[in-house]
Amino acid sequence: MTSASSSPVTETILNFIDGSYRKGSEGKSFPNVNPATGTAIGVVHEASQADVADAVAAAKAALTGPWGKMTTAERVKLIAAVATEIERRADDFLAAEVADTGKPRHVASHIDIPRGAANFRMFADVVSTMPGESFNTSTPDGGQALNYTVRKPKGVVAVVCPWNFPLLLMTWKVGPALACGNTVVVKPSEETPRTAALLGEVMNAVGMPKGVYNVVHGFGPGSAGEFLTSNPDVDAITFTGETGTGQAIMQKAAIGVRDISFELGGKNPAIVFADADLDKAVEGLSRSVFLNTGQVCLGTERVYVERPIFDAFVARMAAAAQGFKPGVTSDRAYLGPLISAEHREKVLGYYRRAVEDGATVVTGGGVPEISGAEAGGFFVEPTLWIDVAHGDTVMREEIFGPCCGIVPFDSEDEVIALANDTVYGLCASIWTENMSRGHRVAAAMDVGVCWVNSWFLRDLRTAFGGSGHSGIGREGGVHSLEFYTEITNICVKL
């Protein structure tokens, strides 16, 4: 792979297998497009089925090589070195992430790259203090037995990544997988291949044994994604992305009864009570609706506002939306492009559907006027709707764009029922100055994560995941150990 700091027009992105960069063995490639300009800025070499098999074989062999023989202390030291090297090469990772996603640099530099390093460092710390269980057991003959647990790596883990936070969400999985002694084969999104490939340079620089970290590029069905999740030597699969893709992967995982960890789609609600601090609520929800142009799994697409403050809230949110400047190059830019022309057409389709169903557009609803190189980018306007019914399409289906419907409510019981009336269950946020109500309503939400008077406030040690169509399992802190390790209970008769 050429350096991410070199000319993006000539960049070639290769697969990383067994410690070396490789072209695809069948000679297939596809363009890498910058969504901020709509132009091709490089070429990505697609992995063949044979290439994916080589990557899995390398990962399997590494389990019994030097990597598998390391002590926990030695492994943790190496993983901490990965975090330090990411920080040292932060500019390279930032350039790669901005080119792939079209995010404004000041946004990616404060979220994506620091978290990429933090994920390795935090899980190194967790594994260093990993707890075990032990029990003294009375035996039928009046004696004693000692039961204790030993955690072991699960094996080869397939890491299938999304495009919205490529480095952050990839390292959220690779960090704990490696900390627990597994090896990985990463399949980044075809839209955002750069940082996963660049991480191979970091692995080599810190002396990571060959085969521990591998990257294969390509698409889903009939390509690297299907080849990887179908490979019988893959012991577990972790995936973040769209629910339909998760269902397809789950079918593959059933063959061989492989373990899965899924963080999938969402249609996340926010509830704003009349006693909420309006400044706090508008600031928080303008982030949760519009951050990363709405391309956030935890983002808010349904907002329920108690009727006495409904008009004031809508006016304040509209002013916030109108203050966001689309673009990438300006320091004032907040709203980058959507990831692709295809995704932009999907989001604009929902914009049209909202109006067809009778919604009133408070602000936005189309494509902004942008001049210069970014005129060809995949931008849309931040959009708010009122006069939407709870059953409307834009209130039921995940859009993954910078938009939300705002609906009034009159009682606590009513709004709890509305918020929970969905097949998804990823997250929610509650806005109230009455902490008794905050605790009570948060506990009533059928979600994996619920914030009160905040959003996206994360402690990486806490459980993260969703219920229903939003996923299977929990990761974060010691919760990740349940997926990335196998437990053996040892019983010794004393």
* Residue pointed to by tokens 């995949």: 378
CA–CA distance, 295 with 266 (Å, rounded to integer): 11
Cα dihedral: 238, 240, 246, 248 (round 10): -70
Best CA proximity match to 476, nearest among 490, 492, 459: 459
Q: How many CA within 13 A on the CB side of residue 36?
A: 22
Residue 62 in 3-state DSSP? helix
* Residue pointed to by tokens 């053996």: 488
Q: Which residues are catalytic?
A: 263, 297
Strand order, beta sheet including 259-263: 20-22, 15-17, 213-215, 183-187, 156-160, 236-240, 259-263, 471-472
Judge contact between 363 and 320, C-beta under 8 A.
no
Judge contact between 358 and 344, C-beta under 8 A.
no
Best CA proximity match to 483, nearest among 459, 457, 465, 460: 465
CA–CA distance, 115 with 59 (Å, rounded to integer): 25
